[in-house]
Structure 1
Amino acid sequence: MTGTEGRVDGDGSGLPGPAAVLPGLSEEQVRALRRVGRAWGRVSVAPEVWRRALPVEPDVGAFPVSAEAGRAWFGRLVPLPPLRVRAAGPRAAAGVQAEAVSRVRRVLVGAPLASSAFVTERMRKLVALPVLSADALSSVAYGPEAMLTVLVLAGAAGLAYSFPVSAVIVFLMVAVGVSYRQTIRAYPHGGGSYIVAGDNLGPVAGLVAAAGLMTDYVLTVAVSIASGIAAITSALPGLTPWTVPLGVLVIVVLLAGNLRGIRQAGALFAAPTYAFIVAMFALVAAGLVDAARSGFQPVPPPSLPVTETVGLLLIARAFSSGATAMTGIEAISNAVPAFRPVEWRNARTTLSWMVGLLIAMFAGIVVLIHLTGVVPRSQETVLSQLAHLSFGQGWMYVYVQAATAAVLLLAANTAYNDFPRVLSLLARDDYAPKTFLRLGDRLAYSGGILLLSLAAVLVYVAFEGQTNSLIPLYAVGVFLAFTLSQTGMVVHWWRRRDPHWRKSLLFNATGALLSALVLLTAGISKFTSGAWVALIAIALFLLVTTRIKRHYATAREALRLRPHAVELPAPTSTGPLAPATRAAAADADRETEEIPEEIHHLSVIAVATLDLAAMRTLAYAASLGQPALAVHISTTEDEERRFRAYWGLWGDHLPLQTVLSPYRAVVAPLVHYIETLHRLNPGLTLTVFLPEIVTRHRWHRLLHSRTASRLRHALRNLPKIVITTVPFHLPR
């Protein structure tokens, strides 16, 4: 059985979390821990008595040390073998069942990777460009078309504004690109909109920026896949009725791939992205050569029905639609640490390349559209029409469509990298359930990946996979994040006043002003076309995240260690009951006990952190007067050392066994440990004690772990194992 369980810092759920270290204790908490330990010492027997009473050897095995790990494939991934068991024994039914489940998971997701398997290889610029720019560069496949789709409503008069609107969009690309160059310099360790806005404008602004980012990432998946499927159906019209099923299938494939950690092999993005760049420049070059033969005389567009008149609102809508070609510009500023040294300098260079390529391809496509008189059609994309005019039905047309479809479908994966990361940052700051902090078996934020896939499927199906229907929702989230990030940078430079701060402030102020203009334009002009959906989603996001933050603050205060609130075991001078000998216990391998004297106990207490809930559980188990053993699953060596140090500050009153889990899993190693204790000592009745948070509202349960139910399910086939939860009721 494999799995992970996130630790809520101080939530009393009984288990630690992902690869994050144990939260540190303040001076006040350390003093409280010592006072509680002294109080325990006055009512409990000496720690040596508890240790002598243990009927088992607590150390049952360990994971291999790093020196015994397998060699890394291509210098990137380091797999580790499973836990070594000190003594073998007959496998129980639960072990066979767990092994079967593990095999299925390995087929679907892959074998678990140790924390040491994080990618250590940095990206050079030629690899980082396609990996981090796929979303931005691929947007030229739908950005110009989205702009024309609005202008064409006014007929030829509307199309006449395509050049001026495009020129403003190009200027906006330059301004925002230069602004993010300043962000990279100021935040060399990665500065997404959530971090920048939160640091400089306050937590509310950071939350609003995160809301914009989250909606942006969901729509990135939906829009990219819708555009990619449109490229396929343009070349193969017979697949048009299957637009929605094909898009959902692609999302499922992306889900499976990211759960397996395929996204770590980022170099796979190089081929389709570079193929798309070559295809776009080949298309522009061929189109310009054809136009040169006719003296660059534009072909008049076909006769178009006029449904709207040219006005400020129409032009504003076209501008905000075309500006969606800028999506993904932020990706490089988020991933600065992924570059080779000097990281920030290489990131700025890569960003400049990306913006230059984006402007060249965007401008080239707009010029070709003007020269050829192509207008948007429902059954064929603008890029497909341009490729037909330049290459006919030959192999170059197939190449252009295949490269476009491939880069659009893979561009959706940018969101799979960033959405779970932002969600984990929100969970770190208590704005999202702690489960999103959890790294899965393949070193991916599995919870965030699943949530993104579900949201993208719902949006894609609701809008029937139509790019033009999704675009109005897109600009609001994108430019809300842009605006807050750049405004935050203005405040940053004003506060820091580093050398050349005025120039940097001017760049970021320009980017903030233009982004705010697009945001305002999109919010007003596209409100009735679908922008209201994005605005409502952002408002709901703020409501939910603030409620979650309030609940975690209440839980943390209630669980905070306070000496006078800690329950102590009943005073005793005799210590634990004398256990049966290990030899006698080993013979009792069947559930034949009929009287109390025939039952030989061992209390196993799962402890994550020393808060009030954990102290109540320790006190309850100790008060029963049976041999007791505390178990802590550590996900890092540092966490293991620090927990033992805190245990010593408390007074080391009960025996403690720590298990280091390099796979970040917590429930599975705890199950394995208990199962191994049972196999080595079948005559003992093991009672596993877990702290349990009891909330007053049902939806609050989603914010805390369900360790007890998972343990019951995993261990129910083993005899003589009892799971007991000790409730801790939150005040509200």
Structure 2
Amino acid sequence: MLPGLSDEQVRALRRVGRAWGRVSAPPEVWHRALPVEPDLGAFPARAEAGSAWFGRLVPLSPLRTRAAGGRRTVEPAGPAAVGTSGTGASRRVRRLLLGAPLASSAFVTERMRKLVALPVLSADALSSVAYGPEAMLAVLVLAGAAGLAYSFPVAAVIVFLMLAVGVSYRQTIRAYPHGGGSYIVAGDNLGPTAGLVAAAGLMTDYVLTVAVSIASGIAAITSALPGLTPWTVPLGVLVIVALLAGNLRGIRQAGALFAAPTYAFVIAMFALIGAGLVDAAGTGFQPVAPPVLPVTEAVGLLLITRAFSSGATAMTGIEAISNAVPAFRPVEWRNARTTLSWMVGLLIAMFAGIVGLIHLTGVVPRSQETVLSQLARLSFGGGWMYVYIQAATAAVLLLAANTAYNDFPRVLSLLARDDYAPKTFLRLGDRLAYSRSIVLLSLAAALVFIAFEGRTDALIPLYAVGVFLAFTLSQSGMVVHWWRRRDPHWRKSLVFNATGAVLSGLVLLTAGVSKFTSGAWVALIAVLLFLLVTTRIRSHYTAARAYLRLRPHAVELPARTGAGPLAPEIPAAGPPGRPGPASDRETEELPEEIHHLSVVAVATLDLAAMRTLAYAASLGQPVLTVHISTTEDEQRRFRAYWSLWGDHLPLQTVLSPYRAVVAPLVQYIETLHRLNPGLTLTVILPEIVTRQRRYQPLHSRTAGRLRRALRHLPKIVITTVPFHLP
């Protein structure tokens, strides 16, 4: 979060510090005038959190505050509601739907063992056998029985592709043991533009994962309950709303909760395949002839390639494990590779088994009932086992949709980190979830679902483009990676990744050409728009950063505070404690009754921050600068920069080990107020103001969040110092 300073900026920082020294009181004067003890302790470390299955919430408070005499005491947690907006009825409705804000907590990801990681990370991939084989057959059936005869060869090529891509991602895990999604791999090895294109494919994939999974899940329900078919679109939108509300509440399912639907689905599929094979054995494995079908297209290369690209959507979600390597227990990369192998093995077995059953039973796709439902009716009738298979299918598909709610915000936060998306997507919301990313995903998925009337066959053509665009760039990036690194066994790894890249590229080309008029053009347009928007955002951030760079002659300096008869005197202060009245009631009516402390919140040392510091110092009141650091390295670097500047004002750095920034700042200010109720705290922040209003959302709105979080406390004033970009 803290940008590094170049050699030129370090020299500028020293020159600015010397200029400050000529006009400002000596640092010891500012430190002596401070009416508070700034060191309020530390937030709990990760090791102090209790254990859980997959995730946990840990309190960021209480701060271990320093009491009189230097001993540490524990202060009670404050009631801050970070980010809470709205008043009256709207706030009550928000609390009812989303729950009370978790202002003082942070989420810690747990390490997973393989049996938990498999269902958690494989739900998307394994659930795709519910619609992948049917999508392939839906194209082949257009050529009648002659087209269905190609189901085995096409399925065999898809199985080979699954194996090749799975082996390729095993190499990715070895090369990127800290997680290597398509955006990271392509960006590192093929350049920023390739990384952006891969991210565009991923974002499209996640939106369509929600739409397709929900469409398939609703289809499983309506197959068992045909009377609900006219309500397909309202039911799908209702599920999206439920997923939106659940994820905005910050729900983090435990491993057991994730495991149940996925393992239930795997058991259901193997039970279905086993029962079907037993039935087929009674007839000597003689396939049942399919019904007479109208022929609307001739068998040709275009038809075969369309069927291949549709069926290949059964591979969606294969890369999920390579993204989440750090979430495994040690040895992380080895456990991740083992889990990936299990997933690919299960995926191939279920896909091949379902295709084999379809061939043996003569089942063909029907608009009113899914292929899986037909197979289950043939094997189990309409009994409890049929209900179990349909329920397990619907559950795992809806769970697969929820998986996108974890991955989409993660990729968007990486883009925001790299200046390709608004910085607001980096921050957690009231319930410690990426609220804005979740809302954006839900709106996009709902629009796609409604536009295509919740039909899986209509959504599949859009799906393949994004999936295999990310696959192709990721595997191509790995080829470049091995060529550059030339580690032991690099040739074998390069061959595996090159095979995956070529096959994925062929599927991408096939899907783009054969399904262009069927809807693939929508995905291509979405990718181009994504590139246009992200590059514009990056250009703005680059220009803003260049303008905010430290330049000695552009830095504002405070009025002379340490010399001259007209210089304002910094108020003297006694020992740190509670100046002023002991009560925190707002009873001051005369200026001399108000005891000030200016708290300047600074994220980095740039022109906007320097102007804010100059403004605070020019007021002639005690000043305390606060910086929230998310890592110990950032904390050390900021203190080093502060020393280079000259340490002119008192500085307190607060280490927040959970990536949260605003919540720890609120807690620090609350604790400072609680220990010094007689002080009026004026919290001063820099504010970036853009000339073009459309770029304003790209910059922080921390002041508004602080106002909402601290408005319940007396004697706290929030003010901003605007810095206008040209």
Length-normalised TM-score, structure 2: 0.89
Alignment of 1:370-409 (within 5 A): 370-409=359-398
**Distance in structure 2 (CA, Å) of the matches to 1:266 and 1:93:** 31
Displacement after TM superposition at 1:223 (Å): 0.7
**Distance in structure 2 (CA, Å) of the matches to 1:672 and 1:192:** 35
Tell which deviates more after alignment, 373-382 or 457-466: 457-466
Q: Match of 1:605, SS? A: strand
Q: Does 1:629 align with 2:610?
A: no
Q: Does 1:620 align with 2:615?
A: yes
Displacement after TM superposition at 1:589 (Å): 5.0
Tell which deviates more after alignment, 180-189 or 706-715: 706-715
**Distance in structure 1 (CA, Å) of the matches to 2:432 and 2:712:** 30
Q: Does 1:322 align with 2:311?
A: yes
Tell which deviates more after alignment, 513-522 or 602-611: 602-611
Q: Match of 1:652, SS? A: coil
**Distance in structure 1 (CA, Å) of the matches to 2:46 and 2:153:** 63
Task: Say if 1:263 and 1:417, in contact at 8 Å, map to a contact too.
Answer: no
Residue in structure 2 matching 1:350, options 336, 339, 361:
339
Displacement after TM superposition at 1:642 (Å): 3.9
- Counterpart of 2:161 in structure 1 is 172
- Counterpart of 1:44 in structure 2 is 24
Task: Say if 1:695 and 1:729, in contact at 8 Å, map to a contact too.
Answer: yes
**Distance in structure 2 (CA, Å) of the matches to 1:672 and 1:113:** 9
Cα 1:335–1:606 shift into 2, 3 Å: closer
Task: Say if 1:154 and 1:308, in contact at 8 Å, map to a contact too.
Answer: yes
**Distance in structure 1 (CA, Å) of the matches to 2:234 and 2:196:** 34
Cα 1:623–1:405 shift into 2, 3 Å: same
Displacement after TM superposition at 1:34 (Å): 2.2
**Distance in structure 2 (CA, Å) of the matches to 1:673 and 1:491:** 47
Q: Does 1:311 align with 2:300?
A: yes
Displacement after TM superposition at 1:527 (Å): 1.0
- Counterpart of 2:112 in structure 1 is 122
Task: Say if 1:671 and 1:711, in contact at 8 Å, map to a contact too.
Answer: yes
**Distance in structure 1 (CA, Å) of the matches to 2:380 and 2:676:** 76
Task: Say if 1:156 and 1:301, in contact at 8 Å, map to a contact too.
Answer: yes
Alignment of 1:700-711 (within 5 A): 700-711=695-706
Task: Say if 1:603 and 1:629, in contact at 8 Å, map to a contact too.
Answer: yes
Q: Match of 1:692, SS? A: strand
The residue type equivalent to 2:392 in the other structure is A
The residue type equivalent to 2:517 in the other structure is T
Cα 1:260–1:663 shift into 2, 3 Å: farther
Alpha-carbon displacement from aligned partner over 1:420-468 (angstroms, at most 9, x marks no partner): 2222221221111222222456654443333222222222222222111
Cα 1:533–1:687 shift into 2, 3 Å: same
Q: Does 1:80 align with 2:80?
A: no
Alpha-carbon displacement from aligned partner over 1:88-107 (angstroms, at most 9, x marks no partner): 99x99999x99997997598
Alignment of 1:262-301 (within 5 A): 262-263=251-252, 265-301=254-290
Residue in structure 2 matching 1:511, options 497, 500, 511:
500
Alpha-carbon displacement from aligned partner over 1:288-341 (angstroms, at most 9, x marks no partner): 222222232222222222222222222221111111111111112222223333
- Counterpart of 2:71 in structure 1 is none
- Counterpart of 1:138 in structure 2 is 127
Task: Say if 2:162 and 2:344, in contact at 8 Å, map to a contact too.
Answer: yes
The residue type equivalent to 1:32 in the other structure is A
- Counterpart of 2:601 in structure 1 is 606
- Counterpart of 2:72 in structure 1 is none
- Counterpart of 2:15 in structure 1 is 35
- Counterpart of 2:646 in structure 1 is 651
Cα 1:83–1:154 shift into 2, 3 Å: same
Alpha-carbon displacement from aligned partner over 1:137-194 (angstroms, at most 9, x marks no partner): 1111101111111122222222222222222212222222222222222222222111
**Distance in structure 2 (CA, Å) of the matches to 1:535 and 1:68:** 46
Task: Say if 1:579 and 1:601, in contact at 8 Å, map to a contact too.
Answer: no
Alignment of 1:321-340 (within 5 A): 321-340=310-329
**Distance in structure 1 (CA, Å) of the matches to 2:100 and 2:16:** 45
Q: Does 1:434 align with 2:423?
A: yes
Cα 1:113–1:636 shift into 2, 3 Å: farther
Alignment of 1:677-696 (within 5 A): 685-696=680-691
Alignment of 1:143-222 (within 5 A): 143-222=132-211
Alpha-carbon displacement from aligned partner over 1:330-377 (angstroms, at most 9, x marks no partner): 112222223333333332232222222222211221121122221111
**Distance in structure 1 (CA, Å) of the matches to 2:669 and 2:346:** 58
Residue in structure 2 matching 1:553, options 527, 530, 542:
542
Task: Say if 2:598 and 2:684, in contact at 8 Å, map to a contact too.
Answer: yes
Q: Does 1:576 align with 2:576?
A: no
Task: Say if 1:60 and 1:676, in contact at 8 Å, map to a contact too.
Answer: no
Query: Which structure has more RCO (C-alpha within 8 Å, separation ≥ 6)?
Result: 1
Displacement after TM superposition at 1:528 (Å): 1.2
Tell which deviates more after alignment, 440-449 or 401-410: 440-449
**Distance in structure 2 (CA, Å) of the matches to 1:94 and 1:154:** 61
The residue type equivalent to 2:337 in the other structure is R
**Distance in structure 2 (CA, Å) of the matches to 1:178 and 1:476:** 21
- Counterpart of 1:16 in structure 2 is none
**Distance in structure 2 (CA, Å) of the matches to 1:360 and 1:113:** 46
Displacement after TM superposition at 1:241 (Å): 2.6
**Distance in structure 2 (CA, Å) of the matches to 1:721 and 1:333:** 47
Q: Match of 2:317, SS? A: coil
**Distance in structure 1 (CA, Å) of the matches to 2:504 and 2:580:** 76
- Counterpart of 2:437 in structure 1 is 448
Displacement after TM superposition at 1:117 (Å): 5.3
**Distance in structure 2 (CA, Å) of the matches to 1:431 and 1:292:** 57
Cα 1:35–1:351 shift into 2, 3 Å: same
Q: Match of 1:40, SS? A: helix
Identity rate, percent? 80
Task: Say if 2:154 and 2:308, in contact at 8 Å, map to a contact too.
Answer: yes
**Distance in structure 1 (CA, Å) of the matches to 2:299 and 2:339:** 39
Displacement after TM superposition at 1:525 (Å): 1.2
Alpha-carbon displacement from aligned partner over 1:629-657 (angstroms, at most 9, x marks no partner): 32333444554444334323322212334
**Distance in structure 2 (CA, Å) of the matches to 1:275 and 1:92:** 42
Displacement after TM superposition at 1:668 (Å): 4.3
Tell which deviates more after alignment, 345-354 or 275-284: 345-354
**Distance in structure 2 (CA, Å) of the matches to 1:587 and 1:325:** 66
Tell which deviates more after alignment, 132-141 or 255-264: 255-264
**Distance in structure 1 (CA, Å) of the matches to 2:107 and 2:532:** 37
Cα 1:673–1:273 shift into 2, 3 Å: closer
Task: Say if 2:189 and 2:478, in contact at 8 Å, map to a contact too.
Answer: yes
Displacement after TM superposition at 1:718 (Å): 5.8
Q: Match of 1:490, SS? A: helix
Task: Say if 1:230 and 1:380, in contact at 8 Å, map to a contact too.
Answer: yes
Q: Match of 1:79, SS? A: strand
Displacement after TM superposition at 1:67 (Å): 9.9
Task: Say if 1:691 and 1:728, in contact at 8 Å, map to a contact too.
Answer: yes
Tell which deviates more after alignment, 410-419 or 690-699: 410-419
CA RMSD in angstroms, aligned pairs only: 3.3
Tell which deviates more after alignment, 280-289 or 432-441: 432-441
Tell which deviates more after alignment, 548-557 or 411-420: 411-420
Displacement after TM superposition at 1:557 (Å): 1.2
